[in-house]
Amino acid sequence: MHSPSLLRSALSGLALGSAVLGEPIPHKVVPQLKPRQTIIPGGKPCGEHGPTNRGCWMNNWTIDKENEIDPPPAFKNWEYDLYITNETAWEGPDGVVKPAMLVNGGFPGPTIEANWGDYVVVNVHNQLQDNGTSIHWHGIRQIGESDQDGANGVTECPIPPGTTKTYAFHVVQYGTSWWHSHYSSQYGNGVVGAMVVNGPATANYDIDLGPYIITDYYHQGADLLQRIAELPSGGPPDAENILFRGKGKHKSGTGGSYDRLVLTPGKTHRVRLINTSVDNSFTVSLVGHSMKIIQIDMVPVEPDTRDHIFLAVGQRYDVIIEANKDVGNYWFNATLQSSGSCGVCNNAYPAAIFSYEGADQNALPTDRGTPITATCDGEKGLVPYLRRVLDPADFHAEELNINLTQPEVDFRGTVFRWEINDVDIDIEWDHPILEYVYEGNVQWNPKANIIEIPDADVWTYWIIQNNFFIPHPVHLHGHDFLVLGSGTGRFNRDTHFSQLEFNNPVRRDVEQIPGSGWLVIAFYTDNPGAWLLHCHIGWHVSQGFGMQFLERASEINRLMNLNQMVPNCDAWRAYAPTNPWLPKLDSGLKK
């Protein structure tokens, strides 16, 4: 990982031999940084953040603060460089040689770390031969900074090969998230990594063990697999393995190795679980141990202890694990639902090892534990620590209908396409929606699938109706949302309204829609910008499962220096005609 440093006064020399596109917006960089121990005038120190006082962060910034409304002052610019490269014959974690795209030479890529209230500056160097790229900072709200969201075709043009783009944004939330490419199939090829924003917590713990990425894994390139997935004769490909922190044992038992996370006897450990899969959602459990949930998707929750946790694609759970058992080795299992509705893996028993200090670090656990009955259902009953209460009388919802179709598409014939309200999204890489806004042009392609929301600071309500039997993990950019309820069948106000929760419901940025069922969400219009809502199953968003909310469009040009996106777009428009692999064959959005 590139060591974070104070922002250099000039960014023009970021990468020798490559163009630099998109300087960071000046107001996003803190010119005078102070030591973190500085006492803020009028502040009431809460003590020192540590194992017995995790609810305190600094001065009077505690777990009780509304984190997005009143973050602490910035003390540091955390700067990173991400170098994205092609590998045609990479020996993967389980010993199989395959094509891959690596970041800084590894998979997963480096962890982006910052502190609550600080600024993050990331220089993304595209060293791929035939691909653009863009990096999305999943779960980061980007308040007033939609142009830094990293969704090509929506908030920017792709970064052309041989060039560098600098992202700069303010982190007003804290917790665990991840970053990934939003350019077609790149994240399935390896362009992905964790994010950690340090801050207070709702329960004490001794040791932070950092991010714990769990992902499905394939032995073929994601581009080829996407072509297979869209064909009625093919269907979604099976994963070959599940990896834990980039490690995994081959299903034959001959290649690769188990990841091993070391626990200190008698101590409590924070583990930041992240599902970065393309397709697979799973239930995780640690034999003989429970997990205390303290945060979901960067939303702090009342501590809630569970024996197992369902992790949908894109979701995060910060948990506390107490090492209070006999010194030894314990299986950490990822269990898939047996019907295959949440994905299929050809490794029947994907697992890692949690090993106590003092145990034989070369030995395998002996107890597989009681098998978990895995489902495809999201976790229920979690209570956000910072409350949101809505008035049921204000419930006026728009409906978003999800359907699967099989249209005829160019030379490929019949293919699968996912639609929201009869449109499968197809973004324009060379003309993103924010550029339309910059130009004052409202004549965008209907395939952009845009719903405009002009009103400021109001709650909007959405019924997402899934008309197909497969569950979907739905992610919203620029916001977390309140999960008012979900169920099977068609949503009917007369019969289902009483089931909705308006008094501090679950809040997060990814939630599972039941197969042949409904999900009701609400979000507050406090963030002007262009924001994607999409399924986080890579095959599905690539096949059109997405739409855009254009929020408070009249304010966007005033809040953001959108002219700074033009050089990168001009560079992309100059490059694209020379690329033999264009035009794109999918929605253009990540998988």
Q: Which amino acid is at 101?
A: M
Q: State the chain's maximal CA–CA distance in angstroms.
A: 67
Beta bridge partners of 168: 121
- Residue 585 predicted with pLDDT over 70: no
pLDDT of residue 233: 82
pLDDT of residue 459: 98
Shared domain for 349 and 398, answered yes or no, is no
Q: How many CB atoms lie within 10 A of CB 369?
A: 17
pLDDT of residue 588: 57
Q: Is residue 258 part of a domain?
A: yes
Q: How many CB atoms lie within 10 A of CB 399?
A: 13
Q: How many CB atoms lie within 10 A of CB 47?
A: 12
Beta bridge partners of 323: none
What sign does the CA torsion over 24, 9, 2, 197 have?
negative
- Residue 6 predicted with pLDDT over 60: no
Mean pLDDT of 74-103: 96
Shared domain for 236 and 159, answered yes or no, is no
CA atoms within 13 A on the CB side of 504: 11
Q: Name the least confident of 38-52, 96-110, 424-438.
A: 38-52
Q: What is the DSSP annotation of 395-459?
A: --EEEEEEEEE--EEGGGEE--EEEETTB-----TTS-HHHHHHHT-----GGG-EEEE--SS-E
Shared domain for 428 and 574, answered yes or no, is yes
Mean pLDDT of 202-219: 98
Q: Is residue 190 part of a domain?
A: yes
Say which DSSP state 359 is in: S
Q: Is residue 587 part of a domain?
A: no
Shared domain for 297 and 411, answered yes or no, is no
Shared domain for 500 and 463, answered yes or no, is yes
- Span 509-553, pLDDT tens digits: 999 999 999 999 999 999 999 999 999 999 999 999 999 999 999
Q: Is residue 135 part of a domain?
A: yes
CA atoms within 13 A on the CB side of 199: 33
- Residue 31 predicted with pLDDT over 60: no
The domain boundary, picked from 151, 180, 198, lies at: 198
Shared domain for 397 and 543, answered yes or no, is yes
pLDDT of residue 346: 95
Q: Is residue 545 part of a domain?
A: yes
Shared domain for 107 and 179, answered yes or no, is yes
Shared domain for 345 and 471, answered yes or no, is no
- Residue 36 predicted with pLDDT over 50: no
Confidence label for 250 from pLDDT (cuts 50, 70 and 90): very high
Q: Which residues contact 349 (CB under 8 A, 6 or more apart)?
A: 333, 368
The domain boundary, picked from 312, 328, 356, lies at: 356
Residue 477 phi, psi dihedral angles, 5° rounding: -80, 155
Question: Do 154 and 209 form a contact (C-beta atoms < 8 A)?
Answer: no
Question: Do 551 and 149 form a contact (C-beta atoms < 8 A)?
Answer: no
pTM for the model: 0.92
pLDDT of residue 27: 37
- Residue 11 predicted with pLDDT over 90: no
pLDDT of residue 184: 87
Shared domain for 421 and 307, answered yes or no, is no
- 339: left (phi > 0), else alpha (psi -120 to 50), else beta? alpha
Shared domain for 414 and 295, answered yes or no, is no
- Span 407-460, pLDDT tens digits: 766 655 788 899 999 999 999 999 999 999 999 999 999 999 999 999 999 999
Mean pLDDT of 365-382: 91
Shared domain for 435 and 559, answered yes or no, is yes
pLDDT of residue 582: 64
The domain boundary, picked from 301, 332, 356, lies at: 356
Q: What is the DSSP annotation of 104-164?
A: TTBSS-PPEEEETT-EEEEEEEE--SS--B-EEEET---TT-GGGS--BTTTBPPBPTTEE
Q: What is the CATH number of the domain that holds 40?
A: 2.60.40.420
Mean pLDDT of 70-95: 95
Mean pLDDT of 205-228: 96
pLDDT of residue 44: 61
Confidence label for 564 from pLDDT (cuts 50, 70 and 90): very high
Shared domain for 44 and 183, answered yes or no, is yes
Give the chain's domain count: 3
Q: Is residue 375 part of a domain?
A: no
Q: Is residue 40 part of a domain?
A: yes
Expressed as residue numbers, the domain containing 440 is 392-578
Q: Is residue 307 part of a domain?
A: yes
Q: Which amino acid is at 225?
A: L
> CA angle at residue 145 from 512 to 38, to 5 degrees?
105
